[in-house]
A and B are shown apart, each in its own frame.
Chain A
């Protein structure tokens, strides 16, 4: 059969790889840059696979581990920050092991482009003692999925696959394989599935014997290789390999390149072969010096005299992304050359091109018509004149921090807004403490905080921004939406009923786009002594389109700009001293109508003006 080629995003490539590798279960929690993997599996499901958005990463890993104990091949997906949530089951699973192959895809986000941290999953792999694959392109990510499942089953261990943003969100042509079929053999009762201290001790010993063996195996793994010749060497892995290859096109010097596709367990034997060929080594990798440390350790324990340059001697940066340009600059330095054509210092704009004009700053912002803007504004109005602290959370609503709203005073990690508000209130009981959280995040990790607040008798008001989706990651379903990735409908889990059953003293619901009513609802909640909650319900404008648009009566508009200064909606722009509505952005939420003192704004049916 002829091989089929498909143009796939890295995340889609991983999904198709997992489908072709015969998975039975796929579970994850959305998080940029990992979200498209589960979505692609759901879209291409042949009904043979159970695919789910789990309530959080911990739940996803635990569901998959159960299926794997019964012999199924399973895929779990999350982003690097999500791995922290899943670390509890992961660490134990590393000791207990699995039966059916299990690949845990953890997408890292150097930069970071869309994350709270720049943590490196390769370091987590070392910490949890789990093998990790680090693809350099969508094509390689596809291939590695098969290798990872094979390794997982051979050694009965979960295996990590760690793509980074540029692999996850890059597109390339991928050669698809024919699908394998793996039929789960079922669960057999055995004491080995129960984690007791004695077993952990034995398993720990076994892991320490096993990992060097895997490292040995990785030395002959085709995706770890040495190419080129020369006494100068470059070691790299992941997307950095792509940047190095691209940059090397600019140089004619002989360089020996060592590509590390499995940074843990490290392919020591192959690395020693590389070190034997070179006198000086430049390590180009993103975030932690994982390859660099491994090479230095090998030099030390084997009395090899190669000099290793990288993060530890200040040659490369610890934080942020690499690029073709940084790789070229580093290679030029290694070669003792002044610069290459990729030298970024001398660019188009600083040569004979004159001064670059001042460019507008474009901070990310809540969409025009986003109901969260209205909810924030209502709380701001209700709390006016009071000492109030607004604890934020992770999601679109983190953007409530931008001016003119300024409604996010703290933001730590998912679910922490509710518990941080409690801590703040203990120290300053005279302040009003509000915690904002989205519907998906509430189910993921908000409920525990609510229980804590009720149990420990604090006085906070929790504002739940329920837009019926997981908006920031692209609109995924969650337990409050009744929809599953299997195409079925679930019982609707009501936020209000959950809050009530968790003994929240006062639970109110309102439509945030009704400003007057929302202000009085918030006032009632904040005046309640104890834990109170307001559920603000209005759908995400990205998923639920209306035909409504706001229009400004230019005869009535005085150009006072109150609407702009109060809510900062992107669809409100200035034109000839008056406010005009940008048609291409407006979603007709109507919030600006309630702000205009001159009744100059109204809603129309949405015909383009």
Chain B
């Protein structure tokens, strides 16, 4: 059974990433339940998506302290949901922060470094991804979501291979984005191995 939580800020492609994971699990013949907990505004707000792979799940939501994996698209959003992680769970996190409008208004910007330091201080399996470098390598800022899934798979936290995920991308992504997404997946995976 794998309980996976994806989190970040609206507009980062979290829904597609959760679709990629759940469709791959289904292709493996596993049972999946997911829930997108999107807020009033999908833009600018905190977004969390629950993906549950397992036979005896009832609730679409993962209970606190039960997530095997958190894929964090943004450091502070990852800290916000850290209560969901199992004691021996893994976290794959993008190191780029997204500032909020209230922060811009007050000039009270949050320190991305503090959030990452906090995550590093926890006795958990942590993989930090350099999101900016990943996107630059693919030359597209919209594929961070797929790169992070690639990183999670390479870290062995998802129970699915890059080849299996690529298959799913071929099946679900619009044709003009297939190659781009597969490249992002591979670069994400490579980033973890290096």
Which residues in A have some Cβ–Cβ distance to B below 8 Å? 7, 113-114, 136-137, 166-167, 169-173, 239, 241-243, 245-247, 249, 323-325, 328, 341-342, 344, 347-349, 352-354, 356-365, 367, 396, 399, 402-404, 561, 564-565, 568-570, 572-574, 583-585, 608
Which residues in B have some Cβ–Cβ distance to A below 8 Å? 9, 11, 22-23, 26, 31-41, 43-46, 56-61, 63-66, 76, 79-80, 82-83, 85, 87, 99-105, 107, 109-111, 114-115, 117-118, 121-123, 141-142
Pairwise interchain contact A357-B64, C-beta atoms closer than 8 A: no
Pairwise interchain contact A583-B141, C-beta atoms closer than 8 A: yes
CA distance A404 to B36 in the complex (A): 30
Min CB distance A250 to B, Å, is: 9
Some 27 contacts from A to B, beta carbons below 8 A apart, are A113-B39, A113-B40, A137-B58, A166-B35, A167-B60, A169-B35, A170-B33, A170-B60, A171-B22, A172-B60, A173-B31, A323-B63, A341-B65, A344-B64, A348-B82, A357-B111, A358-B110, A359-B76, A360-B76, A360-B102, A361-B102, A363-B101, A364-B39, A364-B45, A568-B104, A573-B104, A608-B141
Pairwise interchain contact A584-B141, C-beta atoms closer than 8 A: yes
Across chains A and B, the number of contacting residue pairs, with CB separation under 8 Å, is: 168
CA distance A565 to B31 in the complex (A): 49
CA distance A570 to B99 in the complex (A): 9
Contact A365-B43, Cβ < 8 Å, known A348-B82, A359-B79, A585-B11 = yes
Pairwise interchain contact A364-B40, C-beta atoms closer than 8 A: yes
Contact A357-B40, Cβ < 8 Å, known A137-B58, A245-B58, A362-B46 = no
Min CB distance A240 to B, Å, is: 10
CA distance A344 to B121 in the complex (A): 21
CA distance A137 to B118 in the complex (A): 37
- Taking CB atoms, residues of chain B closer than 8 Å to A245 are 58-59
CA distance A249 to B34 in the complex (A): 19
CA distance A342 to B34 in the complex (A): 20
- Taking CB atoms, residues of chain B closer than 8 Å to A344 are 64, 83
CA distance A512 to B76 in the complex (A): 35
CA distance A137 to B32 in the complex (A): 12
- Taking CB atoms, residues of chain B closer than 8 Å to A608 are 141
Considering only CB atoms, which chain A residue lies closest to B89 in the complex?
A348
- Taking CB atoms, residues of chain A closer than 8 Å to B40 are 113-114, 364
CA distance A361 to B82 in the complex (A): 16
Contact A570-B22, Cβ < 8 Å, known A342-B63, A347-B64 = no
Contact A367-B114, Cβ < 8 Å, known A7-B22, A341-B65, A568-B104 = no
